[in-house]
Amino acid sequence: MSSEHPLNGYRLYGYRWVVLAVFMLVNVTIQILWISYAPITGPAAEFYGVSDLQIGLLAMTFMIAFIPLSIPASWVIDTYGFRVGVGIGVALMGVFGLLRGFAGDSYGLVLGATIGVAVAQPFLLNAWTTVPAKWFPVGGRATAVGLVTLANLVGTALGMVLTPVLIESMSIPTVQLIYGAVAAASSVAFLALARERPPTPPGESGSEVRALALEGLRHALTVKPFLLMLGVALIGLGIFNGINTWIENIIRPRGFTPTDAGALGAVMILGGLVGAVVIPALSDRQHKRQRYLMIAVVGAIPGLLGLTFATSPALLYGSAFVLGFFLVSALPVGMQYAAEVTYPTPEATSNGLIQLFGQGAVVFVYVMEAMRSADGSFTPSLLLAAGLLVVSAGLVTRMPDPDEVRERVPAG
């Protein structure tokens, strides 16, 4: 199935939605595996006989592994195609996801299997802009990246909500085995249905040749707006990952339960789902990136402050929704911004660097734990996060839209 553009004569293939769908599916499942211990930190620590920090390490492992593996994963995707690169990732995810379920009550085995899943993650995250670039016209790519972001958020929400509910009726290893089986099934679906590219390019820009990976990497690091975008990613993803990692600990001192933590995480993700659809679509329609990055960063600040101080459920959940709506929507717009300002750098390379800096913010996740007050409150670190969002807004003011960047910094 295909449709021909009435003016330019290029073809759009309906199969692009199948490719995007299976790519979204594997992103859903790897996020479930990443976040599933966060809303049950206390019960999991008791079950395995370890500390809260050691349970937090199960999520932090994904960020730690990403740092050395991001650029090699991008190189594989750029050199051999996303079907091979993502295929490596989903194979690792399926195998180690199942192994984590079979690990029983051994924290050491769970950690080892988690490391295996964490190795898979860069192969999935670094292809976020590559898949849309191969199958979608330029005017729809931020929207497609937004849908992939949405898939990641759905996975995070499912892990947040389902895990506390499921452990009420079954053991933690059984829950992890179910998640591992889902991960294996989604991996098979991707390997069976994904295709590298359509028979003909989806638009004029789709036929342009991108630079080789290492050449593109060198070029990207000379583009000042892209370097500023790396700073925005470092702050935004650091805050998002930090809050999700410690969400139960953040609200525990205020009398909330692990089930409340799962619901709160889901509300924040729900806000992100809406934001990841609305904001990138508006950005695509107007072909304005900087404007919507600013809206996203500034809009997240009130939500973060509400999450920091709210004691009533209504205000807490409302703040989480606002925070998710704005903070999450910055990611797909920022990734497409990076892909456009760094042309002819390959999409997987610019995408991978954005993700690398974001996962490098694992330092902030650890700092949040280290800054806990005597009564266990995360207020000091959350206020630091709000200040960092202000800094991020300052960086965005110095990031012109891609068309202006191309005029100032010729490619090549």
Average pLDDT rounded to a whole number, residues 395-412: 70
Q: Can you give the three-state secondary structure of 122-185, one letter per residue?
A: HHHHCCCCHHHHHHCCHHHHHHHHHHHHHHHHHHHHHHHHHHHHHCCCCCHHHHHHHHHHHHHH
pLDDT one-digit tens code per residue, 27-70: 999 999 998 998 888 899 999 999 988 998 898 898 888 888 98
Is the confidence at residue 205, as pLDDT, over 80? no
* pLDDT level of residue 405 (50, 70, 90 thresholds): low
Q: What is the pLDDT of residues 92-138, one digit of tens each?
A: 999 999 999 999 899 999 999 999 999 999 999 888 878 888 888 87
Coil vs helix vs strand at 347: helix
DSSP element (H, E) containing 191:
helix 172-193
CA distance 329 to 235: 14
* Residue closest to 234 by CA, chosen among 118, 67, 121, 369: 67
Output the pLDDT for position 408: 55
pLDDT per position as a tens digit, 377-393 = 888 999 999 999 999 99
| Residue pLDDT, tens place only, 353-381 | 887 777 766 778 788 888 888 877 888 99
Tens digits of residue pLDDT in 171-185? 999 999 999 999 999
- CA 331, CA 341: separation in Å to the nearest integer? 15
Does residue 7 have a pLDDT over 80?
no
Matching residue, tokens 């958020």: 153
SS3 303: helix
Residue pair 184/176 in contact (Cβ under 8 Å)? The answer is no
Question: How confident is the model at residue 407, as a pLDDT?
Answer: 55
pLDDT of residue 206: 43
For the CA atoms of the chain, what is the radius of gyration? 20
Domains contained in the chain, CATH given = 11-199+211-408 (1.20.1250.20)
pLDDT digits (tens, 9 = 90+) for 219-235: 888 889 999 999 998 89
Distance CA 162, CA 390 (A): 34
Mean pLDDT value across the chain: 85
pLDDT, tens digit, 9 for 90 and up, residues 229-272 = 999 988 988 898 888 878 888 888 888 877 888 888 889 988 98
Whether this model's pTM surpasses 0.95:
no
Q: Give the mean model confidence (pLDDT) for residues 300-314.
A: 91
Q: How large is the average pLDDT for residues 2-7?
A: 47
Query: 3-state class of 20 per DSSP?
Result: helix
Cα(393)–Cα(204) distance, rounded to whole angstroms? 34
pLDDT of residue 134: 86
Asked if residues 264 and 157 have their Cβ atoms less than 8 Å apart, the reply is no
Q: Mean pLDDT over residues 198-212, rounded?
A: 60
Q: How many CB atoms lie within 10 A of CB 85?
A: 24
For the chain, the maximum distance between any two Cα atoms, rounded to a whole number of angstroms, is 66
φ, ψ of residue 4 in degrees (nearest 5): -100, 135
